[in-house]
Amino acid sequence: MSVKLCSKCKQEPAFLYHGWGSLCSRKASRKWRRDHPNGSKNHNLLARHGITLIEYRAILKHQNGRCKICLGKEKDKRHKYLSVDHNHQTNKIRGLLCNRCNRALGLFQDDCWVLQRAVKYLRKKL
């Protein structure tokens, strides 16, 4: 039986391999992402949306660094980047949204009719 080496540090882990990678490789991956934040962000943008970090920054500059819906800036420490919003049928990018606006659209399932009803409901005078 051959010993599985860590994919990042190429060292022999001192424990069993469990399928998703050894604890050693997970720690090495976390360290790499921490040490190379732009590389990790660029990789994620390419994999999920087909754009580079340079293209993301161009969109962000075009939006003046603000959410396309509420015009706010992302302030939450957990979400330091604006989310890339896209049409789920065409995968075309619509813009960058703060976490709250992105989640709200997701909860309304991108349904314009439901959103219009929500606006009508909010405008109703009590």
Give the range of the structural domain holding residue 11, as residue numbers without chain letter: 1-35
Q: 17, 4 in Cβ contact below 8 A? A: yes
DSSP 3-state of 94: strand
For the stretch 40-79, pLDDT in tens is 788 889 989 999 999 999 999 999 999 999 998 866 666 7
Q: Report whether pLDDT(1) > 90.
A: no
Task: Indicate whether 55 and 94 sit together in one domain.
Answer: yes
pTM of the predicted model over 0.85:
no
Q: 45, 36 in Cβ contact below 8 A? A: no
Task: Indicate whether 31 and 41 sit together in one domain.
Answer: no
List the structure tokens of 65.
């660094």
Q: Report whether pLDDT(7) > 50.
A: yes
Domain CATH number, residue 101: 3.40.1800.10
- CB-side exposure of 36: number of CA atoms within 13 Å? 12
DSSP 3-state of 84: strand
List the structure tokens of 24.
């050693």
Task: Indicate whether 72 and 97 sit together in one domain.
Answer: yes
List the structure tokens of 46.
């390419």
Task: Indicate whether 57 and 99 sit together in one domain.
Answer: yes
pLDDT at residue number 16:
46
Determine whether 25 is exposed, middle or buried from the number of CB atoms within 10 Å of its CB (0-12, 13-18, 19+): buried
Contact residues for 43 (Cβ-Cβ < 8 A; gap 6+)? none
Position 103, amino acid: R
For the stretch 82-115, pLDDT in tens is 999 998 888 899 999 998 899 999 999 989 999 9
Task: Indicate whether 41 and 26 sit together in one domain.
Answer: no
Find where tokens 């819906």 sit: 69
